[in-house]
Amino acid sequence: MITQEQIPTVLDHPVYDADGNKIGEAKHVFFDDATGRPEWISVKTGLFGTSESFVPIRDASVVEDHLEVPFAKAKVKDAPNVDVDAGGHLSEDEEHRLYDYYGMAWDDAWQQANEPGEGGWAHGGTDDRTDTAGSRTTTGTGRSAAAGTGTGDDAMTRSEERMRVGTERREAGRARLRKYVVTEEVQQTVPVRREEVRVEREPITDANRDAAMSGPDISEAEHEVVLHEERPVVETETVPVERVRLSAEERTEEETVRGQVRKEELDTEGVDDDRRDR
């Protein structure tokens, strides 16, 4: 159990369960009117802290800058809804419901609160209690809320909610880079050469007469010429053309978030308008 001196270090600080999961923010500590000891703590839960759940503080402990309670996060968030009255007290019926929900013995708690000596209200209590036989009255068993500033101040605290907006990183999609092979038709024009037969005739002149008369007068002869041509030859080679990679680029955009917050306003009765804001 935490001590009254530790309350300022608990309020508005995170509350975690035994597995290290954050439940919410501690907002109010409720004291036992009989023993004066911290008994319950209210925890703001939900996306914007719009819900408030009650959890026993009896077995809670302060660890560094946060409070740890021996109940699972889901257990605390599903606790019965309790509407605290204007005086900041839990009714007997509401406290019964919370005791039953958390599996705590109401009789044991009541008996402990009424034991004489340290721990019970019979030890130096200043309240006017006429019921000392253990009857469960709202006055004797109520739990008063504390904001960590004492209970003897006659000033009224005005509070308001403020929206806290943060960001969370989540997966928005995936990009994949892969390569595959396609075949396409290409064409290219190249010059090719070939040889053709051409018959050349020349008249007999004094220059070639001797060559022409060197053979027999009349005979058969045959002469062969080999013809050549070029044909296109296709070969392929693999060459690198570019390097491609994927990279993630972070871009910041402005996004408007809307929510609802509550605040307390003050109204006075029996006060002159000229003195109201002084």
For residue 88, pLDDT over 80 is answered with no
Q: How confident is the model at residue 131 (pLDDT cuts 50, 70, 90)?
A: very low
Identify the CATH class of 4-126+133-148.
alpha beta
Between CA 210 and CA 206 the distance in angstroms is 8
Q: What is the pLDDT of residue 127?
A: 37
The residues spanned by each domain of the chain are 4-126+133-148
113, two tokens: 């609160």
Work out the end-to-end distance of the chain between its first and last CA atoms, rounded to an integer number of angstroms.
43
Annotate 208-242 with DSSP letters as a single string: THHHHTSS-SS----------B-------------
20, two tokens: 């290290």
CB 80 within 8 A of CB 97: yes
For residue 142, pLDDT over 50 is answered with no
Tens-place pLDDT, residues 17-36 = 888 888 888 888 888 777 77
